[in-house]
């Protein structure tokens, strides 16, 4: 059976923003504030996946992540783009936009 990706309503940029907030959280209270403020925006299921490191924004929105990586390449940020492509490929090994880039 093929593994289906989870596609939250939030954009890739919004998911990355919230992922950054989660990574910067210093306490349970910080996490609670992020949940209250941003949980409804990204979707609680997506939030839980990111909080438990079970999924990344790149795995949730692979096409948008690849577009963001292409923008990074245009801005001469190839190393950052490669990181994004690799994260996409971890969840979607045959992704046509990431294949050969990561």
pLDDT, residue 7, reads: 60
pTM recorded for the entire structure: 0.81
* pLDDT of 1 strictly over 80: no
Residue 25's region, left for phi above 0, alpha for psi from -120 to 50, else beta, is beta
In this prediction, what percent of the chain has a pLDDT beyond 70?
91
Mean pLDDT in residue range 36-41: 92
Q: Tell me: the pLDDT tens digits for 40-96?
A: 989 989 999 999 989 999 999 999 999 999 999 999 999 999 999 999 999 999 999
Largest CA distance in the chain: 42
């Amino acid at each position: 059976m093929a593994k289906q990706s989870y596609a939250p309503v939030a954009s890739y940029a919004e998911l990355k923003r919230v992922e950054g907030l989660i990574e910067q959280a210093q306490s349970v209270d910080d996490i609670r504030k992020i949940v209250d403020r941003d949980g409804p925006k990204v979707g609680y299921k997506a939030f839980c996946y990111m909080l438990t490191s079970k999924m990344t924004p790149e795995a949730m929105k692979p096409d948008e992540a690849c577009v963001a990586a292409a923008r990074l390449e245009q801005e001469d940020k190839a190393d950052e783009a490669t990181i994004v492509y690799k994260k996409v490929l971890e969840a979607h090994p045959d992704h046509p936009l990431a294949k050969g880039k990561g």
